[in-house]
Amino acid sequence: MASTPLPITQEADLLREGAGAVTWLEGVRRLLTNPTAAVGSILVGFWILIAIAGPLAAPQNPYMQHLDARLTPPSALQWLGTDSLGRDILSRLLYGARLSISGGFAVVAAAVVIGTLAGVTAGFFGGVWDDLVMRVTDMFLAFPSLILAMAIAAVLHPSLTNALIAVAVTWWPTYARLIRGQTLAVKENQYVEAACALGMGKIGIIARHILPNAFAPVLVQATLDVGAVILTLAGLSFIGFGAQPPTPEWGVMVSDGRSFLQTQWWVPTLPALAILSLVLACNLAGDGLRDLLDPRSER
Amino acid sequence: MFLQFVARRLMLMLLVLFGITLITFVVSHVVPADPVAAYVGSQAPQGVVEKVRHEYGLDQPLPEQYLVYLGGLLRGDLGTSIHDDRPVATDIATYFPATFELAMAAMVIAIVLGLPIGVIVATRKDKLVDHMARALSLTGVSLPVFFLALLLLAVFYVKLGVLPGPGELSPYTQPPPRVTGMMLVDTLLAGDLPAFQDAFSHLVLPAFVLGFATTGIIVRMTRSSMIEALRQDFVRTARAKGVGRYRVVVVHALRNAMIPTVTVIGLAFGSLLSGAVLTETIFSWPGLGRYATESVVTLDIPAIMGVTIVAAFTYSVVNLVVDVAYALLDPRITY
Amino acid sequence: MAPECVSARRYRGRAFCAIFGLIGLLATACGGTGGGATPGPSTTLVDATNISAIVTLDPNQSYEDLSYDHDMYSTLVTFNKADTTKVVPSVAKTWNMSSDGMSWTFHLSKGVTFANGDPLTASDFVYSIERVVNLPKNPAAWLVTQMGITSSNVTQQVTAPDSSTVQIKLTQPVAPGAFLDIIAFPTTAIVDSKVVKQHESNGDWGHGWLDDHSAGSGPFVLDRWDRGSQIVLKANPRYDLGPRPSITRAVFSNVTESSAQYDLLQKGQADVATGLTYQQMAQLAGNSKYKVVSQPNLSLEYIGLDVKNVPAFANPLVWQAVKYAIDYKGIVQQLLSGNAILNQGIVPKGMQGYDSDLPFTQDVAKAKSLLQQAGYGSGFSVDMLVPTGDISGIPASDMASKIKSDLAKIGITVNPRQLAASQLYTTYRAQQAQMVLANWSADYPDPDDFAKPFGDYGQKSLAWRLNWNDPSLAQMVNKAGTLPNGPERNNLYKQINEYEMMRGPFVILYQPLLTYAMTNHMQDVSINPIFGLDLLSVSKQ
């Protein structure tokens, strides 16, 4: 009796190691020694904190106009100055953080979910379905993302929600491809065969063997993509197809303030720096994750 | 075998193109709004709207419109722009060269700056130069391109005055007769050297802005694949044989590092087309990106479809070329 | 080892060379034009503006910005520069109207020629009108067809009894003032029929060619139009319908970003900028090197209340309540930084029939009591359609926010819904809107062009879009449309204005100003409310 559990445990270890996954302890150790990942995680954590708590800490109502105090420079009253309608920029940045971060996460989450469904089934079951999925992703990937997102966001009524939908539509094929590739690679591995031999059902195999192995590169890609999505959303808002004024979305703030760059520089520059900081955080975190999760990749 | 490979990829590309037209058609016709209303404006009398809609065939059922469109496509007819009543193909031909010139210049800058820097920092891994380059390239992919454009214009044009402002040429320069539509080429063809200099200096800033993110990507890509390549057995063999370090770097490692870099260049082309939308707006560059924005704003359906299809088509062709180059470069790949 | 080291250095050197080579090329670029601050030759004018709305330069089809066609083509009569409510002779020396007002005769000046030397004759005018009504998909055709002249009868109605006489017969009555205003408009400009006919293809009436070439008799000819880039006009050496302009070359550069326009102006690479923001203009006004010139634009910004789709708006007391709730002064002085004039009537200043009365100022208490009287003391909620982009130079959403906050004070909750123009017009034209923030600008400078849309349901224009049918007002408006210019007509428009103010669902917010920023090198600047900067009079030091 004692011998039966052992092979299973060993197998479990095989499964985990075969995927190159790391245990939590190992992960934390690597995090602390890798400056990129550390800085990235801290920055991301900072912004997530702002997203959650920011609006509570905001000194003023981000929508409140003070027409007699327009375009004032940073001062003791308004730490980051006011914009063209006298609204407090600090408060708007804090509210906007929530929009940008949740927008980025939402789009990536949606893309991952749809992409996973499509990719895992394509890779695992193969055949006609695989061909179909591949061709469809090819078609979507053939569009430069901003142009397709623009077209979709424009024909729908321009709003933040529709921009999120538009960007998600252009983003899911990347994940489908990624996960399909991972699925194909893992499918051939011995421990999957072993699991099959052990009598595991198809869904079980997918859930317990394939998905966890695909997890690592997807996580890396997703973290990097949150940043890219935020940039795309800001770009869409900048040309008028995303969030609409007076929403304090950062891209909208830069767009509204663009004519003030030389005279009241803080109006467009501060939101742009916020975008930079958040996207940089995501990129650093993504890079760091890549180092952590793939011991073979060399930084 | 190779020809079979190419032929198969071509077939696939055609299928993808068909899908692109379908997707674009669906997207642009699921429109809650009415592009004809936008065209005639708010002041034209009520009857004009219906008249114009009928003249453009927009009152036919959707599947019929699609078939008509597809038929036109096969003849090279991309429909007529609702906004300016010109064939979309003519509009695209008018604006495409400027974007092509910009994208090519951006690509050249990205490669000429990115590859050497990537090579250098790969050989100086983890030193200060490496970290600086890494910081810069990360900034490149994290900074919103529209802000970078505004910033560089403010610094280099307004404050320092070393580079000219927006547009392809200075307003005082007589433009050359239009041959290709690319200002650099046309000024050269006309033998107008001052105009060529003017065009060149106007191209620098927008191309740099557009290529900034790609430069960063190429640096990182080159660096990591160089590092990867430098570890390989064949490199150790070469070193053991006594081949000098830098010869090893360039002749052996770089060649292998080029393969994923070539792929990145292909993918970057797509992001250049997207980035052109924002860059052209800020630099008043009369290209396809700006045309795309205007078409989308005025809901000019035929123009939107035309631009999207041309962009997707160009991107597909570039990727096909990249795939073929990839297959040629990497002897391990079988076809 | 040595040979390899040398080659090694070469390879590394190559990397550096590539980088420095690029920088070197950049250096030569800097040596080029750089950011020179010369104002350029004093006969060349550079205008940093937005030409992306121009779809054609064919005057008989042009509907967007007509200033270029105004510079390249002549009309039978034109607007008096000092007083744009009056017309003066241009190509036509004299004219007269038949006693029943249904027939007009114009006598052309002798010896007028086109820019290429061809003589201008009456048949050229006839041909031009034929083009207006025959060009397919012509959005401007209605200016002529509303007078009863269509493609089926144009050859009978518009004739040239001899080479210097034009006769126009109307099939329905048109106010003489309105008629002359239309004839002064570039839509009826005279094109060189000989040249245009030569370039006709597939029955397009020469439109394909005239789209981006000129064949006129105006003070300028078209040098080139690079779409999306620039429009360049150069002086017509044969122009003699008036004094020759001192500007011989006008470059209209397409610069869509206001910050870019500002930069060009500052660096002296543009003489005029038309799209600056108010803050930017305020910045320049304090600087003696620049000046800002403005002129009331012949347009009105208004809020329309749909009387059918919103139960509250069926009650005229509610219209009054809204009119008393709006902070007009705040909008003009603070939001628009003074770049508008207060106007609460439906005729803009600069046109006859303008009413300078301003019965409404913000009075929250009064507004609230009116609402109470109407039975809506507890307020109500309504959707307001707002266009995307800018209104009068500020983000439309800012205007919407201001209106929202003004009306919130009296208990009306406004939900701004920003829509792209096309969507907005679709809904509005379908009579489906609840409340609209919109603009109406002059198609031609006659009060009829405002009174009919704002007052006559039967026009299927603005009043119709808001489901507002007022037969007595419609009667007044139509009568005013047939009267000759004079005190009787002006009186009637005064009554119409008052009616609209007190008993109409249109809340006229303000009349925008056309403002141009320019360097102080520009002298003798005059801005025509219809055609913008007057190229004929302006000069550059």
From first to last of the 541 residues of chain C, give the pLDDT tens digit.
Answer: 333 333 334 445 555 555 555 555 554 544 444 333 345 678 889 999 988 878 889 999 887 778 899 999 999 999 887 777 788 999 999 999 998 889 999 999 998 999 999 999 999 999 999 999 998 878 788 889 888 899 899 999 999 999 999 999 998 888 888 899 889 989 999 999 999 999 998 888 999 899 889 999 999 999 999 888 899 999 999 998 888 899 999 999 998 888 888 888 888 889 999 988 887 888 888 888 999 998 898 999 999 999 999 999 999 999 999 999 999 999 999 888 888 999 999 999 988 889 999 999 999 999 999 999 999 989 999 999 998 778 887 888 889 989 999 999 999 999 988 887 777 888 898 899 999 999 998 888 889 889 999 999 998 899 999 999 999 999 999 999 888 888 899 899 999 999 999 999 999 999 999 889 999 888 888 888 878 888 888 888 8
Interface partners of chain B (CB pairs < 8 Å, 3 or more) are A, C
Radius of gyration of chain A (CA): 23
- C257/B281 touch (CB, cutoff 8 Å), yes or no: yes
Nearest to A244 among C283, C334, C397 (CB): C397
Min Cα distance A136 → chain B (Å) is 8
- B144/A147 touch (CB, cutoff 8 Å), yes or no: no
What chain C holds in terms of domains, given with CATH numbers, is 57-201 (3.90.76.10), 299-514 (3.10.105.10)
Min Cα distance A165 → chain B (Å) is 13
Q: Which residue of B has its CA nearest to C419?
A: B33
- Given CB atoms, is C229 within the 8 Å cutoff of chain B? yes
Residue pLDDT, tens place only, B109-158: 998 888 888 888 887 777 888 888 888 888 888 888 888 998 898 889 88
Q: Is residue A17 part of a domain?
A: no
Listed by start position, the domains of chain B span: 2-74, 88-329
Q: How many domains does chain A have?
A: 1
Q: Best interface-test mutation with C: which of B251, B284, B290 has the largest number of C CBs within 10 A?
A: B284
Min Cα distance B60 → chain A (Å) is 19
Considering only CB atoms, which chain B residues are within 8 Å of A240?
297
- Given CB atoms, is C330 within the 8 Å cutoff of chain A? yes
Number of residues that this document lists for chain B: 335
Radius of gyration of chain C (CA): 27
Residue pLDDT, tens place only, A176-232: 888 887 777 777 776 667 777 776 676 776 677 777 777 778 888 888 889 889 988
Q: d(Cα C433, Cα C423) in Å, to the nearest integer?
A: 11
**Model-level pTM?**
0.82
Q: Is residue A194 part of a domain?
A: yes
**ipTM score here?**
0.78
Band (B11; pLDDT cuts 50, 70, 90): confident
Q: Best interface-test mutation with B: which of A135, A139, A162, A232 has the largest number of B CBs within 10 A?
A: A139
| Fold observed for domain B88-329 | MetI-like fold (1.10.3720)
- Given CB atoms, is A227 within the 8 Å cutoff of chain B? yes
pLDDT at C435 (0 to 100): 96
The identity of residue A192, as a single letter, is V
Please say whether the beta carbons of A82 and A67 come within 8 A. Answer: no
- Given CB atoms, is A201 within the 8 Å cutoff of chain C? no
Min Cα distance A153 → chain B (Å) is 9
Domain that holds residue A41: 22-66+77-293
Q: Is residue A177 part of a domain?
A: yes
User: How would DSSP label each residue in C326-357?
Assistant: --HHIIIIIISTT-EE---SSS-BTBTT----
Band (A3; pLDDT cuts 50, 70, 90): very low
Average pLDDT over residues B1-17: 79
Q: Best interface-test mutation with A: which of B12, B15, B22, B23 has the largest number of A CBs within 10 A?
A: B23
Q: Which residue of C has its CA nearest to B114?
A: C19
- A157/B296 touch (CB, cutoff 8 Å), yes or no: no
Secondary structure (3-state) at C203: coil
Considering only CB atoms, which chain C residues are within 8 Å of B301?
none
Residue pLDDT, tens place only, A23-64: 666 666 666 677 777 888 888 888 888 888 888 888 888 887
pLDDT at C21 (0 to 100): 57
- C254/B286 touch (CB, cutoff 8 Å), yes or no: yes
- C279/A71 touch (CB, cutoff 8 Å), yes or no: yes
- C35/B120 touch (CB, cutoff 8 Å), yes or no: no
pLDDT at C37 (0 to 100): 36
Q: d(Cα B300, Cα B85) in Å, to the nearest integer?
A: 10
Residue pLDDT, tens place only, A122-158: 887 878 888 888 888 888 887 777 777 877 776 777 7
Q: What is the DSSP letter of C119?
A: B
